[in-house]
Amino acid sequence: MAHTQTYKKRALVLRKTKLGEKDLIVTLLSNSGELMRCVAKGARKPGGSFAAKLELFSAVDLMAAKGRSLDVVTDVRFAEPAGVSTFGLEQTTCASPVAELLSTICQEGLEQPRLYDMAYAAFGRIARSSAEQALAICAASLVKIISAAGFRPALAHCHSCGNPIGLQAGKNVLFSVDGGGATCQDCARQVEGFLVDVQAIAWTNAFLTQRFDEILAQSPGPSTSFAVLQLQKPWIEHYAGRRLKSLDYLLTCALF
Ligand SMILES: [Zn+2]
């Protein structure tokens, strides 16, 4: 008789896709930072035991059995004794690009535990935040995560020569996605890019280097967070290799 191999993992729920009438394919980020895709059988049946526990952005303790293509979830428990955080519409809209970026850049079999910690902190913070704060946490999380994955934009210093950019108000800075980020005036003639208000660069730098508490203490408004998100959109598309649909939605939804 074939022996079914089962395993236990703590993971964050990033995405749920319908499979047939009653099942779900769940994309998760394990606490070692690996992407996982599992089938949750019967998860869409009313009162199904999995349905309530596979909430998006929640941390779960999962039991799964090795399958031929996808592994099969056999048990799910909330990782937190208090259960799942509740996400309102704005909070869901802000958590979705973070989840989509992670499901794009993380891979099966590649351990990146720091990304799990960052995602866990981001989802927890977004759940507890106002709409305006959640937007700032989303913008900060995207730049922190893409940077931690190896694609950190140059912001305070020129990507080419390393000279300080000088993040004072009232000027435009050339931002080169291919080149690696902010470009000083001396190097600007040699690279392609687009001009951005230096404030967008300065805020992106703050969102990248400061903790969530420090960022929120400065009460960044929606226009600040949107400026950071707009700067990151082409950066993420280039380095993650595709557009994030949920980021497109966030930038056009008029919820904030
Ligand atoms: Zn330079």
- Average pLDDT rounded to a whole number, residues 83-91: 84
Q: How far is the CA of 163 from the centre of ligand 1 (A)?
A: 6
17: domain CATH number is: 2.40.50.140
Q: Which residue has tokens 């079914």?
A: 4
Whether residue 208 lies inside any domain: the answer is yes
Strand locations in the chain, DSSP E?
Answer: 6-19, 23-30, 35-40, 59-65, 71-78, 172-176, 181-183, 194-197
- Average pLDDT rounded to a whole number, residues 79-92: 83
DSSP 82: T
User: Using CA atoms, how far apart are residues 221 and 177, in angstroms rounded to an integer?
Assistant: 25
- Which of 33, 58, 78 marks a domain boundary? 78
User: In the prediction, which pLDDT does 2 show?
Assistant: 59
Angle of helix 222-240 versus helix 198-209 axis, rounded to 10: 80
Residues 109 and 170 in one domain: yes
Structural domain range at position 132: 89-252
Q: How far is the CA of 159 from the centre of ligand 1 (A)?
A: 7
Residues 71 and 163 in one domain: no
Whether residue 1 lies inside any domain: the answer is no
Q: pLDDT-based confidence at 82, cuts 50/70/90?
A: low
- Cβ-proximal residues to 70 (8 Å cutoff; 6+ apart), any chain: 25, 37, 38, 39
User: Using CA atoms, how far apart are residues 38 and 16, in angstroms rounded to an integer?
Assistant: 10
Residues 136 and 245 in one domain: yes
User: Using CA atoms, how far apart are residues 193 and 204, in angstroms rounded to an integer?
Assistant: 17
pTM of the predicted structure, to 2 decimals: 0.95
Residues 157 and 221 in one domain: yes
Q: Which residue has tokens 């106002």?
A: 130
User: In the prediction, which pLDDT does 249 show?
Assistant: 98
Residues 96 and 19 in one domain: no
Q: What mean pLDDT, rounded, does the chain reach?
A: 93
Q: How far is the CA of 162 from the centre of ligand 1 (A)?
A: 6
Q: pLDDT-based confidence at 47, cuts 50/70/90?
A: confident
Reported as a single tens digit per residue, the pLDDT across 180-230 is 999 999 999 999 999 999 999 999 999 999 999 999 999 999 999 999 999
User: In the prediction, which pLDDT does 84 show?
Assistant: 66
Cα→Cα distances 105→4, 8, 31, 211, 221, Å? 30, 23, 15, 22, 28
Q: How far is the CA of 147 from the centre of ligand 1 (A)?
A: 20
> Does the pLDDT at position 3 exceed 80?
no
Residues 47 and 140 in one domain: no
Q: How far is the CA of 237 from the centre of ligand 1 (A)?
A: 24
Whether residue 126 lies inside any domain: the answer is yes
Which tokens in the block code for residue 99?
A: 């989840």
Q: How far is the CA of 197 from the centre of ligand 1 (A)?
A: 17
Q: Which position has the higher pLDDT, 68 or 148? A: 148
Q: How far is the CA of 172 from the centre of ligand 1 (A)?
A: 15
* Percentage of the chain modeled with pLDDT above 90: 84
Residues 114 and 177 in one domain: yes
Residues 243 and 201 in one domain: yes
Distance from the Cα of residue 122 to its chain's centroid: 8
> Does the pLDDT at position 81 exceed 90?
no
CB neighbours of residue 25 within 10 Å: 16
- Parallel, antiparallel or unpaired: strands 71-78 and 35-40: parallel
- Average pLDDT rounded to a whole number, residues 127-136: 96
> Does the pLDDT at position 169 exceed 90?
no
Residues 169 and 131 in one domain: yes
Q: pLDDT-based confidence at 68, cuts 50/70/90?
A: confident
Q: Please state the domain count of the chain.
A: 2
Residues 100 and 224 in one domain: yes
User: Using CA atoms, how far apart are residues 211 and 255, in angstroms rounded to an integer?
Assistant: 25
